[in-house]
């Protein structure tokens, strides 16, 4: 029994050491540009996201735990149809279990969709708009891109415009998750 406990303790120490060794330091940026902040219930957070997506010129990268908000999904498809590169990484389980998920709709309308099943939850709620451009924008916060987040939940949304270094940091994280995500075929 003691030998088993010692082995378990050593294994736990190895896991913690490996996790600590692979953790990278927090990134720090001087903020520039402008910010928009909104809360639900009360603010039209979905409308702010749609307005931002309508202004996209070159690219929209999305990480979504859940995406059921019809207007946001339609804005992503409209961006794709006007020539903007749109790529979405979604949580595999949410796509599989949420009946109102719009992920399949996106794929059916030409949006590149990938499913992330590498984690217990691919819980990011991020959009990076026009990465690599001076006006690059990051959308983030607790707001899932869902109808429930707009009308039933207490959520927050932060839109950071015009900070290319911040956008690239989010895009680099997006690319890390894309590397282990699998494409969804319509």
- The residues annotated with a catalytic role in the active site are 123, 125, 130
Question: How many angstroms separate the CA atoms of 14 and 12, rounded?
Answer: 5
Closest CA to 112 of 120, 103, 100, 121: 103
Q: Are residues 42 and 152 in contact, defined by beta-carbon separation less than 8 angstroms?
A: no
| Per-residue tokens: 144 | 């899932």
DSSP SS3 for 77: helix
Map residue 62 onto helix, strand or coil.
Answer: strand
């Amino acid at each position: 029994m003691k030998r088993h406990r010692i082995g378990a303790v050593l294994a736990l120490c190895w896991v913690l050491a490996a996790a600590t060794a692979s953790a990278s330091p927090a990134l720090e940026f001087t903020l520039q540009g402008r910010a928009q902040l909104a809360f639900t219930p009360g603010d039209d957070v979905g409308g702010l996201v749609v307005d931002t997506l309508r202004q996209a010129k070159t690219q929209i990268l999305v990480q979504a735990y859940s995406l059921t908000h019809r207007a946001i999904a339609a804005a992503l498809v409209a961006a794709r149809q006007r020539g903007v590169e749109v790529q979405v990484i979604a949580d595999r389980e949410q796509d599989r279990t949420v009946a109102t998920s719009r992920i399949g709709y996106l794929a059916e309308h030409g949006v590149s969709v990938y499913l992330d099943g590498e984690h217990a939850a691919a819980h990011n709620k991020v959009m990076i708009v026009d990465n690599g451009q001076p006006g690059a924008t990051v959308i983030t916060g607790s707001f899932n891109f869902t109808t429930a987040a707009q009308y039933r939940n207490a959520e927050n949304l932060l839109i950071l415009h015009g900070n290319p270094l911040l956008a690239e940091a989010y895009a680099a994280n997006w690319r890390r998750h894309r590397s282990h995500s699998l494409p969804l075929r319509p």
